[in-house]
């Protein structure tokens, strides 16, 4: 084995290089910490892109800096995939004593199953209507506690809206497992998706919006649904949050027509 002869000049050079390297390492402490933090944040964003929502780091770990917003927000489910001419109808903002019973009567008459996205504060006021919805075989989904625009809330407030909504439903139906959640106004955000992921909920959107909440007339509502309905559609209607007599009158028209056209109604899955 060969080796380079050692002499005093080379030893001096080595000492100088080592001393310089140590000083450089010392001076780079702050830069390395910053680089490490940047690497961690990039990793968190990448994880979110894959649909993962990790718990937020402690304040000491981020030096009290705002947590990075996820780079990608998953899309809610906007269609059903249950076969040809399979569709879903959903009702938001209830239950309401003036309108939910009327919706249930129309659905029962035509033997149609629907999904009711219920508001927690209304569930608390009208638990008997939630039981009636459940007993009729309909699906119950979450729709927040008080129907705010969740995009305007911080993560803790979003989580509270979701948790209180689920708690109100569980108080009435302790054995019922809520699988879906629809954000009020379709207001999806990274914070909303994170809260749903933490609660084991799936985001429910829609593909047909007749804007029944604006009360354009029952004929207009029915025509808007008829014109947009196709295989996989999820129809958005309302049974609360305002006057919904037009919604019920329109349902009496377009629902039997859809059945006559061969459509069958299913729950999101």
Does residue 92 have an active-site annotation?
Answer: yes
Does residue 238 have an active-site annotation?
Answer: yes
Closest to 121 measured CA to CA, from 203, 245, 240, 237: 240
Compute and round to an integer the Cα radius of gyration of the chain: 28
User: Would you mind telling me the total number of residues written for the chain in this entry?
Assistant: 269
Residue 238, CB-side half-sphere exposure with 13 Å CA sphere:
20
Write down the catalytic residue from 96, 138, 238, 239.
Answer: 238
| Tokens 């009711």 -> residue | 116
Closest to 190 measured CA to CA, from 38, 65, 56: 56
Query: How far is it, in rounded angstroms, from Cα 29 to Cα 15?
Result: 22
Write down the catalytic residue from 92, 93, 212, 239.
Answer: 92
Annotated catalytic residues are 92, 238
């Amino acid at each position: 084995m060969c080796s380079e002869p050692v002499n005093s000049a080379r030893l001096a050079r080595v000492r100088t290089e080592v001393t310089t390297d140590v000083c450089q390492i010392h001076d780079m402490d702050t830069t390395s910490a910053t680089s490490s933090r940047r690497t961690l944040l990039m990793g968190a964003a990448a994880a979110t892109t894959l649909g993962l929502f990790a718990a937020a780091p402690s304040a000491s770990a981020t030096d009290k800096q705002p947590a990075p917003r996820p780079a990608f927000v998953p899309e809610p489910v906007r269609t059903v995939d249950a076969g040809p001419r399979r569709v879903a109808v959903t009702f938001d903002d209830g239950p309401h004593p003036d309108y939910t019973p009327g919706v249930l009567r129309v659905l029962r008459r035509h033997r149609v199953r629907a999904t009711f996205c219920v508001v927690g504060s209304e569930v608390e006021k009208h638990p008997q209507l939630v039981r009636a919805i459940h007993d009729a075989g309909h699906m119950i989904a979450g729709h927040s506690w008080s129907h705010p625009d969740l995009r305007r809330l911080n993560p803790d407030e979003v989580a509270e809206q979701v948790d209180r909504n689920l708690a109100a439903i569980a108080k009435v139906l302790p054995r019922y497992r809520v699988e879906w959640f629809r954000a009020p106004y379709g207001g999806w955000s990274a914070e909303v998706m994170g809260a749903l992921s933490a609660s084991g909920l799936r985001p429910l959107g829609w593909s047909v919006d007749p804007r029944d909440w604006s009360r354009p007339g029952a004929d207009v509502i029915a025509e808007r649904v008829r014109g947009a309905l196709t295989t996989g559609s999820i129809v958005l209607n309302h049974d609360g949050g305002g006057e919904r007599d037009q919604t019920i009158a329109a349902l009496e028209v377009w629902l039997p027509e859809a059945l006559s056209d061969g459509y069958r109604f299913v729950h999101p899955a």
